[in-house]
Every structure is written in C-alpha cells, then in structure tokens.
Structure 1
Amino acid sequence: MKSLLPLIYIICFHIIFLSACTDKRHQLHSELFYIESLSDEKPDSAAILLHQFAIENRGLSQADEAYYNLLQTKTNILLKASPSDSIINTVINYYENNEDEHKLALAYYYKSQISMSLEADSIAMVYILKTIDKVKMTNNLQLLSNAYNHLGFIYLIQNLPSNALQAFKKAYEYTDQLPRKHLNKPVYLRNIARAYNLKNILSHNSDKHSYRDSAILFYNKAISLQTDSTPKNISLSIYKELSTTYMLNNDFTKSFKYLEASLDSNKLQEYFNKKAGIFLRMGQFDSASFYVQKCMINSGLYDRYTIYDKLLRIEKKKNNPQKALEYADSLLILSDSMITRTIPEEMIEIQKKYNEEKLRAEKASIEIKYEKEKSHSLLISFIVVVLLFLSTYIYIYSYFKKKKLQQSLLRQRNELLLLNQKARQWNTQVQLSQKKIRQLEDEKKKIESDLHIIANEKELILKEKDEELELYRKQESDLQTQKAKYEELCYVEFKKLFLSVPLSRKIPAFGIERVVTEKLSTHSQKQLMSIMDEICYSFASRLHVLLQESTEKTCLCCLIRLEVKPKYIMILCDLSKETYYKQCQRIAESLMGKSSASALKEYLSSF
C-alpha cells in the first residue's frame, strides 16, 4: 500500500496539470468561437475583440493561432480592409495537415476573395473550386451558396456570362434551405440579372433584346422579394441597375422612375451623373448639360476632368463650337494640374512603401526573436513532461504488465465486434443497392412502355396529317383548274363586251389589224376609261387614283390591258418608241416598284 502512494501522487499531479492545460485551451477556443459567431452580424465588434484577444493571449497553440488568423482575415474582408495573403496561406497550410474540413473550406474561400482583390482571378478560380469541393463534404449550405455566388463574380470578370449565370442560379437554388433566405434571394437575383446584362453587352445578334428582358425580369423579381431587413445598399443597387437597363431599352419613363427610387443623399453626384446619361441618350442635350454641371459641386480634380470631358462632348453634339472651346481650355488647365500633382504623389507613395517595408522588417525581426524564446520555453517544458512521464512509466510498468494480456484479449474482442458490425452494415448496404436496382429497372420498363405508346400515337397523328395534306393538295389543284377556266371565260366575255362598243372601231384591240392614223381625243380617252370601268370592275377608276389622276397614263394602261400592239399605242397616245417604253417603266415603278414593261403587262392582266 505504501509503495503505491508515490504512484498515486504522480498520477494526480499529471491529471491536474493536463486538465489545467485542457481548460485553458478550451477557454481560448470558446472565445474564438464566440468571435466567429459575432463576425457575420457585427464585424467591427469582432475586430475589436480579436485585437484584445491578441493582446491578452501570447504563445497560442498552432490550432488557436490558425483559428485566430482565419477570423482576422474574415473580419478584414467584411470591413473591406486589406487582408494579408501570406497569413491566409499559413492558415491553409495548417488546416490541410489537420482534419478540419469546415475551417479549410473557409480558408480556401477567403484565399479566393483575397486573390480577386489582387486581380489574380485565375488563382481565385482555383481556390473557389476547392472551396466548393470541401463544402460539399461538410454540407454547409450557407458557405456553398456564397461560394457559387463568388464563382459567378469571377466568371463575370472573365467575360463568361453563361458560366456566371449557371453559378448564380446554383447559388440561388440553396436559398430556401438557408436561415436568412430573405437577405440572400434579392442579392442572387440581382447577380443573375447582371449576368444577362453582360450577355446583352457581349452578344451581336438578335438575342440582345431577349437578354435585356430577362435581366429586367430578374431585377423586378429581386425587388418583389425585398423585405424590411434587406440592406439599403442592396436595394439601391437593384434600383440603380434596373434604371440603367430600362435606359438601354429606351424605356425612359421607367428608367427615371427607378433612378428616383435609387436616390441616396450621400451619393448625389452619382445620381446627377446617371440622370445626365439618360437625358443624353434621349437627345435632350440641355438637360444633360444641366445635370452634368450639378455634378461639379464638391468634386475633386479628377472628377472635374471627367465632367468637363463629358460637357465638351455634349457641346460638340449640340454643334456649339464656342462653348466646346471653353471646355477644351478648361480640360487643358486641369490636365496640367493633374500632371504637376502626379510627381509629388509618386514620391510620397515611394516613401510610404519604404516605411511600410521597414516596419515589416522590424516586425519580422521581433517575431523571429519571440519565436526563438517560445521554442526555448517549449523545449524546457517538453523535457520536464518527458521526465515526468518516464518516472511515472517506471512506477506503473510492473502494475500494468499483469493486465497487458487481458487488455490484448479485450482489444481483439472489440475488433471482432467492429468487424461484425461493419459486415452487417455492408449487408444492409448491399440489400439497399439491390432494392434500388430493382426499382430503377421497373422505372426503366415503365418509361420504355410510355415511349412506345407515345411513338405509336405520334405515328397515327403523322399519318392523319399526311392524309389531310393530300386532301388539301387535291382541293388546291381542283381550285387552280377551276380558276384557269374562270379566267379564260372572263377573258372571252371581256373581249366580247369591248368589241361590241363603238369605240372598238377606233382601237385595234386584242391584236386585230386596223389602220390607225391619229391619237385618241380627250372625249375618246374619257369614253375609253368609262367603258373599261363597266366591263372590268372599275379598272380605269382604280388605276386613275393610283397614278395620281393622270388620264394619259390611265389610258395607256387601258390600251395595254386590251392587248393593243405597242406600235398602235404609240400612235393613239402620240408617243415615240423611246418615250413609250420609258412611260411604261415609270408606271411599273409607281405600281409595283419594278421598272419592267413586261411585268407591267402581267400586273394589269390581274388588276
């Protein structure tokens, strides 16, 4: 009993020591977890807590340090600060070697966002695809939705609107399963509309109008799904982009309506600039100039340069050279000011970069020194712990040696139980797979049966349509035959009626040879038009209206309709050969849009 007392003391000491370390690590992890839960709603408060955490806790473990750096990167991104690419790389390296799929997916996601801010979209693409692969394993739908949304933005930057559209729609699919779907839905619908707008910009075919209509549809759907909780900046961006889309669609009433809805008192210059753009597209240059000049209030040097450039282009379109020259002079003065300002700013930027590099080098030196001291302390602690464990091992070796055989047997028994359990699981899985196979085979047979029935129905319908088409063709052929007979009879009656009137003795109609020596008198012309109206359904009256009430042209058309030979028409209408054919061409041009005398004859035959 006395020999076991030292052993009991040592065991108690180890338990107290290890439990103290465990409690400390658990407390630190709980603090970081609380900061992570706070960061989405209040990133500024999370940043303050992270700063205090870094001051109060030195010498963190690798796991806590990686977690801290991950949260630091997240808050910097949410606060639109400048996150460090090197820090997120260390986080990725740690979690790739440790089994924490959720945090590794977050690290990939933030790495992609940082790469986008550094304009390295190819690297951003690689890491966002890694994010999606990891998130699918953790089933974090919020992060998966955000990842697809970010992937869509990368495709937009790469001018791949079709790919962006698929990614945004994929992000939207998960919104109904998210806890705050009322916040995500308007954003994703707006992004889908942006993809259609990019399709419209890049396309050069007739689909441009349909893309713009699709964008308008999704913008309006985003507006309908807004709630009181929707962030103001999201609502304003939707209204603003919808206004621009309606402007490109030349629907200026709705464009002005949504522009007014997007009015932000903090961004009046942007509002005036967009209003000027609408008036400029409408061709109302005075109104456009008025709102461009309103942008001048509290504008900086570079903004004034842009404003004067736009005013110069407006005055050029208004054909006002005097004003255009004034704005050109103002542009030159502003250009000189920009050049004189650029050189000092570059020097200041160089100095700033130098100071930053110097501070970074000093910080690195301090970190190296701290790491050495930390390593030394850890080494001493490790040696102490090893010695304690060795002493404990010496005392308890004899005690546990007796139970080694029992533990070995117990372990084998447990392994056997695990194997049996896995075997049962595999059998269950095999049965489920077989059941699924039978179900799929039944569905396949049903689909094949349905397809066979549909094919037979289509074949019957096709046969009926062929028979119906053959009947219609036969009816059409009969109608053509009857039409030809009717036209032949009409021609015969028309010829009889004309030859029965006294005027036919003066006009050699229908190829009849007769001597003609003088032109038709005014009385004969009116008589000819009257006769043609009687025998041919107001033929002359209708032509008289189409030929702008020209009696000569109308009589010429009547003679052509009566099949009078051109040599006789020239005598009857007192026309030379050249004048006759030119007159026919002009009449054909006014009636049919073709300058052809032969086409005129065919036209008059069916008039």
Structure 2
Amino acid sequence: MCTEQPKELLPELSRAELLMQRCPNSALAVLDSMEVPSPSDKFQYATWCLLITQARDKNYIKHISDSLINIALDYFEKQNDPVRKATALYYEGRVNHDLNNAEEAADYYLRARDAAKNTTDYRLLCLINIHLGTLYAYRGLADLALKAYENAYDYSIQLKDSTLISNSYSCLGRVSTLNNDWTKGLDYYKKAIGIAEQAGSLKALTLAYGEIVTVYRSLSMLDSCMYYLDKSKKIEEKHNISALPQTYLGIGETYYCMGQSDSAYFYLEKALNTTNPYTKQDATQTLYYLCRDLGKYEDAIQYNEQYWIYKDSVDNINRSSEIAEIQVKYKQEKLLNINNNLENKLLWGTIILLVIISILIYFYQHKLLKKERTIQENRKQLEMSINHLHENENIIYENETLIKALSSQIEDHVGSQEHINDQMKEFERIRQNNASLQSQNEILQRNIEKYVSRLKEKGEELKTYERLVTENTYLSERQRYLCSQLIKHINILNCLKSNPEYIDEFRCSEIFNLMNIVYPNLIDRLRRDFSLTNDDLLICCLIKLQLNNSIMAELLAISPSSVTKRKQRLKERINQHLETPLEGERSIDAYLWKY
C-alpha cells in the first residue's frame, strides 16, 4: 500500500495524446469537450494544461497567456519524466514567442533542447531546433541559426518524415540567404519543394514557395518570383487564409519592381489586412514608395506615418531580445565571436588572470596605507619619497606610451587640421610634464640617499616596501599587455581596426559587453561617472582602443572632422562631472586612455 502506483491518464487525455500528431484539430476538440480535471489531481490537471497548449499551437491558434503552460511546467520539472519536461519547456518557449518575449523564448528553447537530448523524441528535438534557429535567424545570428537548422535536418532524416525534411531544407535555404549565398539557397529551396510535392505536404510547400521568392527577387528574376507566389496563393486560398497577407505582400512588392503600379497597389492594400506588424511595416513602406513615384504625395505622407508606427512596434519586439542575456544563461552560447574551444579557454584564462592582478594591486595598495600609519617618522619620510619617485616613474612611463601613440597619429596626418593641432599641443604638454617629473625625481633621489644614510640600514619593512613597489610597476605593465593581447583574440574588437565596417545597434551592444570584460565594468563606470548616452559610450570605446579619427569615421559613417567635433562635445560633457575639468590643451584621448 505504501508503494507509489503507476499513474494512468484519463481516457480523454490518452485519446487526445494519440490524435495529437496526425489529427491535432480532433485532439483539440476532445480536450475542449472533456471535463477539466480537478487541480487537486496535479498529474491529470498538469497533463491537460500541457496537451491543450500543444493542441492550440498545432492548430495555429496564437497564444495570449502563459498561465496554463506555467502550471504544466511547474509540475513536470519536478517529475522523472524527461519527455514531458522537455515538451513543457518547448511549449513554454512557443507561448513566449507568441507573446513577443523573444529573450524568454530562447531561454526555454535552450533548456528544452538540453532536456530532450536525454530522450529519443527526435520529432520534438527537430521542432526545438527549427524554432531556435528561426529566432536566431531573424536577429541576424547566421552561425547560430545554421547550427540549429543542421541539427533539425539530422533529426528529420532519422525520423524519415518528408514534411520535416522539407521544412529543414527551407530553413537551410533561409540561413544561406542571410549569408548572401543565393545559389546554395536556391538549391535548398528546390530540394524542399521537390520533397514536399512528392509527399503532398501543403504546409511545407507554401513555406518553400514563400521563401524561394526572396531569392528570385534578389536575383531580379521576377517572372520566377511571380510563378511561385501564384502557386502559394492558390494553396493558401483553399487551406490557410491567415497566411495570405504575407503572400499578397510578396506579390505587391514584385509588381512594384516590375513597374505595374495598379496591381502593386491592389495587393499591397490587401496585405494590410493582418495583425502581423512585420507584414504591415513592409507593406506601408512599399506603398509609400509607390505613391511617391506616382506623385500622390498626400497618400505617401500617410503611408510613411503608418510605416513609422509599425516600425516602432517591430523595434519594441526586437529590443526585448538581448542575446547577451541568453549567452549568460548558457555557457555554450557565450562570446559568439569565439569560434573554437581553444580561443574560449584563452579568453577566460586571461580574464581570470586580470581579476587576480586587480586583487593583488588592491591588497598591495591596502598594505601601503597600513604601513604608512605604523612606520617611524624617518622611514615614513623615506617611503613617501620612494613612493613619489615611483609614481613619477609610472607617470613618465604612461606619458611615453601616450607620446608614441600621438606621434604615430601625427606622422600619419590622421584627422582634421584642428585635431592634429590639438594632438601637437597634447604632445608638447606631456613632454614638458616628463621633463618636470625628471627634475623632481633627481631631487627625490638625493632625499632618499640622505634618509638612508641617517637610518644606516633600510630594515626589513623598507625592503619589503621597495619590493612591493617594483611588483606594482610590473603588474601594471602586465595588465596593460594582457589587455592588448585579449583584444587581439576577440575578433569583433580586433576587426574594428583591421576591417572597419559601420557599427549598427546590435554590434554596438556586443562591443559594450566585450569592453566591460577587457576593462572591467568600463561601460558601467562611464555611465555612473558621467551619465553618457550610448553614442558617447561608443566614442569612448573607440578612443580606449586607440583607433585614429579616419578609422572611427568609417565605423561611425561620418567624416573625420565630425569625429573631432564629437570628441570635443564628449570632453565638455565629461568636464561637467569632474572636480578638476580637463585643461583646454589636454585631449579627451589621453584622459580616456588612462581612465
């Protein structure tokens, strides 16, 4: 009696589960008509919540709430049932995808994939990888999307399911077009169409028809484009009316490219009859261009205003997905620019070493403060002189580094004449500062020799102090060297100089995350200390990487003179938060290099 008895599903739930794959509409009807199990019977109730969510998803009913799937997931995560646990995680991802919570959806897909790997449910694994790949593809993460789609294809082959194989080929075609490999994309789409036609899978056919059109349009093969759009429209008019607006959009855009304005206007207007903000955004943008070309400027203005409304909606949806958060939750997704395990280990090893160095420097400074309070007066004076001497040496060393960087930029004649003049003034200021520090060091050296002769012997404390000062100088140089090596091993940062390309919003976010790693909490400190905007922070990052004005101009898609003006405005903003503002002749570059 004390032994736990095996749990058996209610007859209606068992029947719905059997019907789910081959006849999901019948499964939904069974679940809707049955009496909902009592919440006190947690197993039956959680299973009903899972199956009703699954049935609605398979019948293309958009999810508007996550309350039911949350109940199912909360129960099956605690049970020894990996298939239902993975299924619940997958449908939690599907629900969040419909609710435009892309970040949460990606997290649940990844967890579902990990849970399903311990099962032989290849159909579930295939679906997880398809939706995960699509999430990556729409955010421009082609490498991650390709890996997920390849996994989906492998599982579909093991299942020998023609519909899934066709869908996998379409997905591979999609990621090929992201990489602008049109020939490979066409090959994948044609394979998908051939398999779907042979299997008679209309859903797989419309998917392949709809996506091969984008390739033909990019290749300006508009007749082929219209051929597949017409075939897709005929299928959807009979079997999937909800998908018609997207097809109407494709037809309207193709007619617009062919110069047939009336037909283009007719289909683009029909494409607006949808709730999909992506479709509405593209349709209103093309209608704006069409009306503008026809001289209908009032209509063009109205469509342009609608376009920006829909674009804001799409941006809000996309903005909710911060891929960096997904990477933090799963180590295998971290640092997307690192392409192999060796580079990953090197990166993390360097980061750990930097942290250790920072801790050593902190304890070293703490020990210096404690020693200053306990040492005798003569030794205290001696230590202060030595400390001042080494501080001057460190400043001289850093100034020499700045002089080399400034000399290189001046010799290359990089930037506007105004910027070059500022650099020459900074160069002269640093040189004079070094001369002054050298003079101070000669005086300090004489004082040190005088204090040592009075003490007759340095003693163990003084020897330890000098050793720590030497170690501090070495650690500072080591830290600077490791930062430069770390940047060389991070492709995104290294390519900013070797292959400068315009930095879009997504790359900007990646650069901020990586700069926080190389220079611990750099972005957070800049935000806290100076209340800077993202544009200002990007300028700070490029200056910190010691890029010249010409390269920065290419990265920001502006002129070198505009870069100089931005730096001046940045200097003014930073001065507002400094107790001692930067002097007129001191450049913002020199300040940020040492920040």
TM-score scaled by structure 2? 0.44
More relative contact order in 1 or in 2 (CA 8 Å, sep 6+)?
2
More helix per residue: 1 or 2?
Answer: 1
TM-score, structure 1 length as denominator? 0.43
Q: From the CA coordinates, give the structure whose radius of gyration is larger.
A: 1
